[in-house]
Amino acid sequence: MSRARVAIALLAIIASLVIQTTVFGASGIEPLGVAPAFITLVVIAIGPYVETEYHLLLGFTAGILADLMGSGTLGIWAMTLTIVAYASSRLRARFNEGIVLSGVLIFSLTLLGQVVFVVIGTLFGQNLLGDDSLAAKIILPAVWNLVLAVPVLWALSELFKRREREWAT
């Protein structure tokens, strides 16, 4: 059961990487000039379906792949998404307490991810604090993730439920 869930989560992460770098990248969808942090959203959203250790490993894997597909220092996204995965694992139970709280958690965890990325990136010489649109690039992805959370949470829940039904029959 666990392996199937992890496989689905891994596929979701790979899909999120492709979507982030195409649909939400290059001349794609960037409302107000800033794209959603789609990979962060998927890392948060898989939390309730996989065990904590797997969640951390998946967060780290998503991060290292994001690092390899970007132009920054290797390991920054890996650390960032591991921290996001850890925080969302600790808050896993809260995701069952209603849609409003889930929304607040996704907004807060995305914001945490963006802030952590800026702090770690700056420590490793990425000069992110010198970015003119720093505030927008931290806050707007969290807002867009709030909007995208509805379809993403629904899609992942359907995917995992279908898989469980297949296992049951």
Partner 1 sequence: MLPTSGNRLNRATILFVSLIAVGFIIATFDVRNDGDSVANVMREGTQSIFEPLQKGVDWVTSPIIGFVDGVSNLAGLRDQNERLQGRVRELEAQVLETGALEERVRQLEAIAGVKAPQELPTVTAKIYSSGPSAFDNARFIDKGASDGIVVGQAVIDENGLVGRVDLVSAHDARIRLIIDPLVSAGVRIQSTNETGVVTGRGDGPLRLEMFRATLPVSRGDLVVTDGSRFPPGLVVGRVTEDATAEVGFVLRTEVEPAANLSQVDYVKVIIGWTALDADLQDGVIDTSVSTTTTMPPGTTLPSPTTLPSQTTLPGAGDG
Report the interface residues with partner 1, using CB under 8 A.
14, 17-23, 25-30, 33-35, 37, 39, 48-53, 56-57, 60, 63-66, 68-79, 82-83, 86, 89-90, 92-93, 95-96, 117-118, 120-121, 124-128, 130-134, 137, 140-141
The CB-of-64 to partner 1 minimum distance in angstroms stands at 8
The enclosing H or E element of 110 equals: helix 99-123
The secondary structure of residue 150, as a DSSP letter, is H
The CB-of-55 to partner 1 minimum distance in angstroms stands at 8
Q: Give φ, ψ of 97 to 5 degrees.
A: -95, 30
Which residue type, as a one-letter code, is found at position 83?
Answer: I
Structure tokens at 65: 């792949």
Cβ closer to partner 1: 12 or 95?
95
Cβ closer to partner 1: 37 or 149?
37
The CB-of-169 to partner 1 minimum distance in angstroms stands at 21
Closest C-alpha among 54, 52, 57, 63 to residue 16: 63
Cβ closer to partner 1: 10 or 56?
56
The residue length of the chain stands at: 169
* 28 alpha-carbon distance from chain centroid: 19
Cβ closer to partner 1: 107 or 124?
124
Cβ closer to partner 1: 44 or 89?
89
- CA separation for the pair 82, 138 (Å, rounded): 18
The CB-of-131 to partner 1 minimum distance in angstroms stands at 3
E-assigned strands of 41-168? none
Half-sphere exposure of 72 (CA within 13 A, CB side): 20
The CB-of-101 to partner 1 minimum distance in angstroms stands at 14
